[in-house]
Chains A and B, each alone.
Chain A
Amino acid sequence: MLNLIPTNTKDLDYLWELVSERNKWFIKLRYVAVVMLLCFYLFVIFFSDEDVNTLQHNGIFAIFISTLIYNLILDYVFNSGRIHNDIFRFNPLKFALIQILLDLTTLMILVYLTGLLNSPFYLFFIFHAIIGSMILPGRIVYLIVTLVLVIFSLLNISVHYGIIQEFLISNAGLIESLNFNYIILNLITFWLMMLASVMFSNNLAGALFKREQQLLEAVSEIELSEKEKQKYVLAVVHEVKSPIAAIVSYLNLLIEGITGQINDKAREVLLKMKKRSEEAISITNDIIEVSKIKLLEEIRKEETDPEVIIKDTIDKLKDKFSGAEIVFTYKDERTSRRAVYADRHLMEILLSNIISNALKYTPTGGKVDFKIYDNDDRFYMELSDTGIGIPDTELDRISGEFYRASNAKKSRIEGTGLGLSVVKQIIEKHNGTLNILSPSVIGNQKNPGTTVLLEMPYFVSS
């Protein structure tokens, strides 16, 4: 069983992906080579000396045609799904090996037909040695390269002794007439060049591959520890929230008069206590939300009508709009009513976050515009307000965790700085992006406002 897997490979899927990518690249590159072969053939016909004979003509043309044909076949096989990411089946590495062997054979014939050591093409062997080293394990590349060197040397020596016919594409010195020591010197240099190329590129490719794998491992470790951290945060927050919840439960009994009548002054104090405790609870809720979204391995995407979620969320928040005397408009500018592939629950959280934010930071008498539209296969949600806006220098930090704009802090509006972070997490889980603009598209001098632009694909296959 021919094992082509490099030693110390830990992530096979990654290897297959890498080799497949290179295979694709080889096929593309070979089409370029085919064009170059055609150019060379035309050059030979129109510009070269009379020395070029019919056999060479036909040979070069045959190489052009056969390279084109086998590349078309390789291209077909590559795209036909016959290559399996499986060590024991026809896999990308075996496919790469076949490609390299076909290329080397073709190249050897071309080099022979164009003068061996006198051929301008034999340096391409070095190119192939390097490419091979990038993909295949060292021992296989050394074996192939040695075979190429032996055949090349034998051909040169045979030509020198007149054992086989010599071809030239110009009337440069015949190998037959060259000094044998000179030929040997040339060959030795070529051997050294080839083997050194393989050695260096193989080492480099090996080291690079190892590094990439280490990097991937490190990333997955970081992800894992991030998950652990979030679990810890969730547990801690729960511990913090529980006693506050108990306090509020007791406060409710007192305030509602269930435990007995209390005087107005005491009631006022109790209400203040309740308000502050509820602030603490709302902060813990925000943190729980962020941790929860980060912990989600997968989200439950389903075909959902965005309009329904949006209207539901607006309905829930309606009272707050009229209470604050803010004019809210909603427009659906989509070309057609299409469903998005989204997690309903997360979308509700997202919408309620951005709409509440707009409400919170827009002064009385202000405006909040919400519109949805589409462009190709992407779905857009744009929410603009005439609120306090976000200072220019802070725009790129605003969606970070616990970050609050300096003017929001000064305005003494309560907040944790987690809202937009939640929005960002959610939209990213839907392969979308969040953009914040300030001043907003409806802002004015006094109230610059903020525009939150969310964008996501309508449908994601995965």
Chain B
Amino acid sequence: MIFLNFVQEEIMKNKILIIDDDPDIIEAATVLLESKDYKVFSETDPENGFKSALNNKPDLIILDIMMTEPDDGFFLLKKLKKNNITAPVIIYSSVSNALGYEFGKNSLIQVDEFIDKPAEPEMLLNTIEKLLNKTK
């Protein structure tokens, strides 16, 4: 019975995928999100990030922009949308505002939210909550 409860909770947990080339950003975010009972997956490059998005079917994706290439994140985002991955995406980048301005209005890529690195924990959590509630 206890075991069953545990499994049920695991299923109920929202899954979040973090794609960022900085392992420290991933770790810090993972600790934060896991403390709020999210199930967190992470990848440090766009290709594995894409595979993980297909396999793990996350409820929300946190995506960096400047990885190996300065605009990796946007290409990955395009690819995700093309492959019908509808999970909300938070662009989490240190130049998100700068680039977001240029890309944000582009109707080809729909971005749900831009957050400038580093985010206050509360703000990041609130944004995640807000987006997850919207999709439910």
Tell me if chain B binds chain A. yes
Residues of A within 8 A of B (CB): 234-235, 238, 241-246, 248-250, 252-253, 256, 258-259, 281, 284-285, 288-289, 291-292, 300, 345
Chain A: CB-nearest residue to B35: A258
Most buried by A among B25, B97, B101, B120: B101
| Interchain CA distance A207-B29 in the complex, whole Å | 65
Contact A249 B24 (CB under 8 A): yes
Chain A's interface: helix, strand, loop or mixed, by majority?
helix
Contact A253 B121 (CB under 8 A): yes
Which residues 48-105 of B sit at the A interface, judged by CB distance below 8 A? 66, 70, 94-95, 97-98, 101, 105
Contact A252 B101 (CB under 8 A): no
Contact of B29 among A234, A249, A288 (CB under 8 A): A249
Contact B24 A234 (CB under 8 A): no
Contact A256 B28 (CB under 8 A): no
Contact B98 A252 (CB under 8 A): no
Contact B25 A245 (CB under 8 A): yes
Contact A234 B95 (CB under 8 A): yes
Contact of B32 among A243, A258, A285 (CB under 8 A): A258
Known: A238-B95, A252-B120. 12 other contacts (CB 8 A): A234-B98, A242-B22, A242-B94, A243-B24, A245-B117, A245-B118, A246-B24, A246-B25, A250-B28, A252-B28, A253-B121, A288-B97
A252 to chain B, nearest CB (A): 5
Query: Is B31 in the interface zone, CB < 8 Å from A?
Result: yes
**Within 8 Å CB of B70, what residues of A?**
235
Chain B: CB-nearest residue to A231: B70
| Interchain CA distance A246-B24 in the complex, whole Å | 6
B106 to chain A, nearest CB (A): 11
| Interchain CA distance A258-B118 in the complex, whole Å | 16
Contact B94 A300 (CB under 8 A): no
| Interchain CA distance A182-B107 in the complex, whole Å | 84
Chain A: CB-nearest residue to B93: A238
**Interface 1/0s, chain B 23-52, versus A by CB < 8 A?**
011001101100100000000000000000
Contact of B24 among A238, A250, A281 (CB under 8 A): A250
Contact A345 B29 (CB under 8 A): no
Contact B118 A288 (CB under 8 A): no
Contact A246 B22 (CB under 8 A): yes
Contact B118 A249 (CB under 8 A): yes
Chain A: CB-nearest residue to B116: A285
Interface size class of B (residues with CB under 8 A): 20 to 34
Known contacts being A238-B66, A250-B24, A292-B101, is A245 close to B94, with CB within 8 Å?
Answer: yes
**Within 8 Å CB of A345, what residues of B?**
101
Known contacts being A246-B22, A249-B118, A252-B120, is A241 close to B28, with CB within 8 Å?
Answer: no
**Within 8 Å CB of A291, what residues of B?**
98
| Interchain CA distance A281-B121 in the complex, whole Å | 16
**Within 8 Å CB of B25, what residues of A?**
242, 245-246, 249
**Within 8 Å CB of B117, what residues of A?**
241-242, 245, 249
Contact B32 A253 (CB under 8 A): yes
| Interchain CA distance A288-B28 in the complex, whole Å | 24
Contact A252 B121 (CB under 8 A): yes
A253 to chain B, nearest CB (A): 5
| Interchain CA distance A345-B117 in the complex, whole Å | 20
**Within 8 Å CB of B66, what residues of A?**
238
Chain B: CB-nearest residue to A241: B94
Chain B: CB-nearest residue to A289: B98
**Within 8 Å CB of A253, what residues of B?**
28, 31-32, 121
| Interchain CA distance A230-B101 in the complex, whole Å | 17
Most buried by B among A235, A253, A291, A300: A253
| Interchain CA distance A248-B121 in the complex, whole Å | 10
Most buried by B among A252, A259, A285: A252
Contact of A281 among B28, B32, B35, B118 (CB under 8 A): B118
**Within 8 Å CB of B101, what residues of A?**
292, 345
| Interchain CA distance A342-B29 in the complex, whole Å | 38
**Within 8 Å CB of A289, what residues of B?**
98
Known contacts being A258-B121, A300-B105, A345-B101, is A249 close to B28, with CB within 8 Å?
Answer: yes
**Within 8 Å CB of B97, what residues of A?**
285, 288
**Within 8 Å CB of B121, what residues of A?**
252-253, 256, 258
A260 to chain B, nearest CB (A): 11
B125 to chain A, nearest CB (A): 10
Contact B118 A259 (CB under 8 A): no
B104 to chain A, nearest CB (A): 9
**Within 8 Å CB of A249, what residues of B?**
24-25, 28-29, 117-118
7 closest A-B pairs (Cβ-Cβ)? A249-B28, A246-B24, A248-B118, A245-B117, A245-B118, A292-B98, A241-B94
B64 to chain A, nearest CB (A): 10
**Within 8 Å CB of B120, what residues of A?**
252
| Interchain CA distance A248-B123 in the complex, whole Å | 14
Contact A258 B31 (CB under 8 A): yes
| Interchain CA distance A234-B70 in the complex, whole Å | 10
Contact B94 A259 (CB under 8 A): no
**Within 8 Å CB of A285, what residues of B?**
97, 116
**Within 8 Å CB of A284, what residues of B?**
94
| Interchain CA distance A36-B25 in the complex, whole Å | 82
**Within 8 Å CB of B95, what residues of A?**
234, 238, 241, 288
Q: List 28 A-B contacts (CB under 8 A).
A: A234-B95, A238-B94, A238-B95, A241-B95, A242-B22, A242-B25, A242-B94, A245-B25, A245-B94, A245-B118, A246-B22, A246-B24, A249-B24, A249-B28, A250-B24, A252-B28, A253-B28, A253-B121, A256-B32, A258-B31, A258-B32, A281-B118, A285-B97, A289-B98, A291-B98, A292-B98, A292-B101, A300-B105
